[in-house]
């Protein structure tokens, strides 16, 4: 016990209360998921002829509410994973592992944030609030408490929670949720397996040591690579259901999809599978950033 305390102190010598709090709520995940929330919100405003400044109350409630439920859910995820996080290099310095934030405090932060966030979402309308509940439940219960530890398909199940942010944003303005909103959902849902499988290939041994049945750790790299390619291919038809954003957007999105697919095919010529996974992971990050930026821009062109 004394050795583990010493290791924790050595690994995080510049830790502060604020940095520990940011790590607890996984601020990187919160920030990155606010982008699709805003995209859904922005498109709904444009398509329904509403002005951004004239809807500031809805914008604030939606973004702040979404941020709070995501931060709270991430805190609860950290609490649930505190037994397996010490086994993985990227998670073993989390405050829930080192004990710098007590379990009781983590639960209090998590539940408080989730409740406050849902209240704000319900202040927009019941549909946005209901989708928020689905997102929290699918991440905390379906994924963190069940699928992550038991199923090889855990990443696919976890993708449900990662895909609801644009639906929340859209529903806050337009609860009818037209086809375009579901295309944003599908982009987020389909994007996640190839993104996280590529990451999991790079950390397969850590997942195996922690007993987490991630696809690369259980089925091997060859099966994982085939699965990644299948999920990337599923993105190909999505832009053709988004013609309302204009032909230039459809062309750009299609080129991004083809580029990702070609990179994956070219990677089969590489002997270094970790390098292939790294290239696919980096492309996935750039893909989502470029695509959602383009959606916001093309909506007003």
Tell me whether residue 2 is exposed, middle or buried, using C-beta atoms within 10 angstroms of its C-beta: 0 to 12, 13 to 18, 19 or more. Answer: exposed
Domain range 178-301, CATH class = mainly alpha
Cα separation, 247 vs 267, whole angstroms: 30
Question: What are the backbone dihedrals phi and psi of residue 46, each rounded to the nearest 5 degrees, phi first?
Answer: -65, -50
pTM metric for this prediction: 0.92
Helix (H) or strand (E) holding 189: helix 179-202
Question: Given this chain, do its domains 17-176 and 178-301 carry the same CATH topology?
Answer: no
**Sign of the CA dihedral with 141 first, then 146, 147, and 149 last:** positive
Gap between the Cα atoms of 138 and 162, Å rounded: 9
- Give the pLDDT of the chain (301 residues) as one tens digit per residue: 333 333 333 344 456 889 999 999 999 999 999 999 999 999 999 999 999 999 999 999 999 999 999 999 999 999 999 988 888 887 888 898 888 899 999 999 999 999 999 999 999 999 999 999 999 999 999 999 999 999 999 999 999 999 999 999 999 999 999 999 999 999 999 999 999 999 999 999 999 988 999 999 999 999 999 999 999 999 999 999 999 999 999 999 999 999 999 999 988 788 899 999 999 999 999 999 999 999 999 999 8
**CA–CA distance, 197 with 272 (Å, rounded to integer):** 16
Question: How many DSSP H helices and E strands does the chain contain?
Answer: 16, 0
d(CA 178, CA 134): 19
Neighbouring C-alpha atoms within 13 Å toward the C-beta of 49: 0
Give the integer Cα–Cα distance in Å for 126 and 160: 19
**How many whole angstroms separate alpha carbon 50 and alpha carbon 141?**
36
- The arrangement of secondary structure in 17-176, i.e. its CATH architecture, is Orthogonal Bundle (1.10)
Q: Tokens 């983590």 label which residue?
A: 106
SS3 270: coil
What are the boundaries of each domain within the chain? 17-176, 178-301
The DSSP-derived string for 55-105 is GHHHHHHHHHHHHHHHHHHHHHHHHHGGGTGGGSTTTTTSHHHHTSS-HHH
Instruction: Report the 3 state secondary structure along 214-229.
Output: CHHHHHCHHHHHHHHH
């Amino acid at each position: 016990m004394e050795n583990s305390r010493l290791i924790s102190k050595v690994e995080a010598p510049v830790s502060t209360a604020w940095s520990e709090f940011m790590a607890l709520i996984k601020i990187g995940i919160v920030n990155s998921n606010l982008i699709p929330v805003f995209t859904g919100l922005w498109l709904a405003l444009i398509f329904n002829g509403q002005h951004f400044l004239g809807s500031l109350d809805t914008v604030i409630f939606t973004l702040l509410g979404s941020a709070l439920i995501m931060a709270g859910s991430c805190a609860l995820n950290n609490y649930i994973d505190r037994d397996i996080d010490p086994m993985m290099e990227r998670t073993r310095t989390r405050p829930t592992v080192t004990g710098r934030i007590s379990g009781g405090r983590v639960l209090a932060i998590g539940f408080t944030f989730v409740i406050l966030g849902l209240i704000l979402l319900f202040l927009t309308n019941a549909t946005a609030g209901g989708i928020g509940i689905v997102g929290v439940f699918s991440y905390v219960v379906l994924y963190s408490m069940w699928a992550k530890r038991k199923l090889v398909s855990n990443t696919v199940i976890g993708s449900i929670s990662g895909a609801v942010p644009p639906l929340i944003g859209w529903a806050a303005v337009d609860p009818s949720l037209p086809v375009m909103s579901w295309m944003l959902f599908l982009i987020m849902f389909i994007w996640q397996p190839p993104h996280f499988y590529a990451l999991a290939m790079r950390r397969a041994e850590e997942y195996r040591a922690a007993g987490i049945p991630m696809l690369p750790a259980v089925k091997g790299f060859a099966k994982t690579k085939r699965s990644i390619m299948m999920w990337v291919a599923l993105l190909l038809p999505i832009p053709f259901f988004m013609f309302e954003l204009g032909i230039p957007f459809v062309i750009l999105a299609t080129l991004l999809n083809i580029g990702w697919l070609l990179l994956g095919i070219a990677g089969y010529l590489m002997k270094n599978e970790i390098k292939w996974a790294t290239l696919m992971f980096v492309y996935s990050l750039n893909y989502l950033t470029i695509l959602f930026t383009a959606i916001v821009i093309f909506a007003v062109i």
